Amino acid sequence: MGEDQLHIMFFPFMAAGHIIPTLDMVKLFSSRGNVKITLVITHSNSSMVAQQLENQENINFKQIEFPDQDSGLPKEYDTVDKIKGAPELFPKFLKALELMQNPFEKILQEFSPDCLVADMFYPWATNAAAKFDIPRLVFHGVSLFALCGSEVMRRDKPFKNVSSDTEHFVIPNIPHEIVFTRQQLSDTDREEFETDMTRLMRRVLETDKKSYGILINSFLELDPVYTEYYKTVFGRRAWNIGPLLLCRRQGRELQSSGDDNNVCLRWLDGKKPNSVIYLCFGSGSVFTTAQLQDIAFGLEAAGQQFIWVVRQEVDENWLPEGFEEKILSDNRGLIIKGWAPQVRILEHKAVGAFLTHCGWNSILEAICAGVPMVTWPLFAEQFYNERFVTRILGIGIPVGAPKYGMISSGVSKEAIAKALKAIMEGEKALEVRNKANESKKMAWKAVEKGGSSYNELSALLEEIRQLNR
């Protein structure tokens, strides 16, 4: 190892929404010269990770055993995707995460990296790294606005000043006027009773305070206000080094896995610019059959062309009778069950809007493609992301999701149709699209040499080198 070569270890969380940006981050760090990477992974993720990072000479893999059976889980239940249909297994999954500390400490001792980048869901990693004098950076797969907003929500508890779950209140002591209702908050926000998740998130917050700092998959120009707020009000360190998906660019337009001749891309080729709405709610979202039917009715009432990706299992009568035949006969819509090349679809010139569940990865993909959004949050930090997109950035229109929950319901077909029309027609649509295009330009500029994210990473790497010396 050269005198100034850095050795950085990455430990991603076992969920697709965390692993994908971590792999992008690994590629980004390894591309900056004189940086050696060790990626710690579990068995179920090893083949996918190896495929994504093939032919990378300075990236090594270390497999860690996932203590599934020690924690009471079925064998090889080492990803969140495998337990999403069985919520009763989640406490056991959290227990397994805790049991990983001792084997992980042995890996730290064996490899002795200069820095550890570990996912937020390993709060014990800060103390583990400290045993060997290794600085630990926390990777948060969310925006700084979501981090700031949720922490103020838990600290100041403004939801206690309202008399019902549907009464509106404002998050206090932050730079923007952001409105919520109590039923749009998670249990970890409200902290009204103890759960495994509330205890975990409390530990994550404490870890943020004790760690060397946090890495954010965003860029300074997108969120200058809460970047400054996080550093000055909370007194913590953060580096915006994204959008991480743009590290796949390699000097060309953004590339994504998927066949160029994919049926949905060929279908889009026959459409006019900005004429199609893309609907996709991520791999973890679930809708009732009644809600799926209302989406179909809303699409029909909006009169817009669309691609609708459905990732969940559906029953036989999940669509209104005759709906699929009708949209195929007039070539107005396309329904895809399962996986679709989302980045490629969003990049296509025919796509004019994106109806999204507001997962942070999906939001960044839309921003990098310059596509405005209709927002339909469900759970996690998605309601904060919605406020960021619609109230602060002004690049989206809310559909009016009323309630936090793993299963979505309660949005009327009329509200769906209204939001879809608003994002595609009239002055508001033009204003939102123009802002989305400006955000795209800023995103691409941020990752170029001399851009804000490029410079943030350069400064961080130099700081770690100085620590190592």
> What is the pLDDT, as a whole number, of residue 48?
75
Q: How far apart are CA 83 and CA 88, in angstroms?
A: 9
Q: Report the candidate in 395, 318, 319 with the shortest Cα–Cα distance to residue 356.
A: 395
**pLDDT at residue number 261:** 53
Highest mean pLDDT among 48-62, 131-145, 248-262: 131-145
Share of the chain above pLDDT 90, in %: 79
The pLDDT tens digits of the residues spanning 70-103 come to 899 988 788 887 887 687 898 999 999 999 999 9
Among 7, 18, 140, 357, the active-site one is 18
- CA–CA separation, 393 and 400 (whole Å): 17
> What are the respective helix, strand and coil percentages of the chain, to the nearest 5?
50, 15, 35
Instruction: Please state which architecture CATH assigns to domain 263-444.
Output: 3-Layer(aba) Sandwich (3.40)
Q: Strands of 141-240 (E only): list them.
A: 168-170, 179-181, 213-216, 238-240
Amino acid at 262: N
Residue 227, pLDDT > 50, answer: yes
Catalytic residue among 24, 68, 119, 223: 119
C-alpha 350 chain-centroid distance: 24
Instruction: Report which of residues 17 and 291 the model is more confident about.
Output: 291
Q: What angle do CA 20, 122, 284 make, to 5 degrees?
A: 45
Higher pLDDT, 2 or 211: 211
Supply the pLDDT for residue 283. 80
- Is 348 in the active site? no
Higher pLDDT, 383 or 52: 383
- pLDDT attached to residue 305: 98
pLDDT band at 252 (very low <50, low <70, confident <90, very high): very low
- For 95-130, the pLDDT digits (tens) are 999 999 999 999 999 999 999 999 999 999 999 999
Domain boundaries, the chain: 6-251+446-468, 263-444
Instruction: Identify the pLDDT of residue 3.
Output: 58
Look over the chain and give the mean of its residue pLDDT values, rounded to a whole number. Answer: 92
Residue 155: what pLDDT? Answer: 95
pLDDT in tens, 55-68: 777 899 999 999 98
Per-residue pLDDT at 249 exceeds 60: no
Residue 200, pLDDT score: 93
Q: Using CA atoms of 418, 419, 423, 426 in order, give the dihedral in degrees to the nearest 10.
A: 30
- Per-residue confidence (pLDDT) for residue 256, from 0 to 100: 40
Q: Does residue 18 have an active-site annotation?
A: yes
Same fold, 6-251+446-468 and 263-444: yes
Q: Check pLDDT > 60 for residue 154.
A: yes
DSSP states along 262-320: -HHHHHHHTS-TT-EEEEE--SS-EE-HHHHHHHHHHHHHHT-EEEEEE-S---TT-S-
Q: What integer pLDDT is reported at residue 253 of this predicted model? A: 40
Of the pLDDT bands very low, low, confident and very high (cuts 50, 70, 90), residue 459 is very high
Please name the CATH architecture into which domain 6-251+446-468 falls: 3-Layer(aba) Sandwich (3.40)
SS3 140: strand
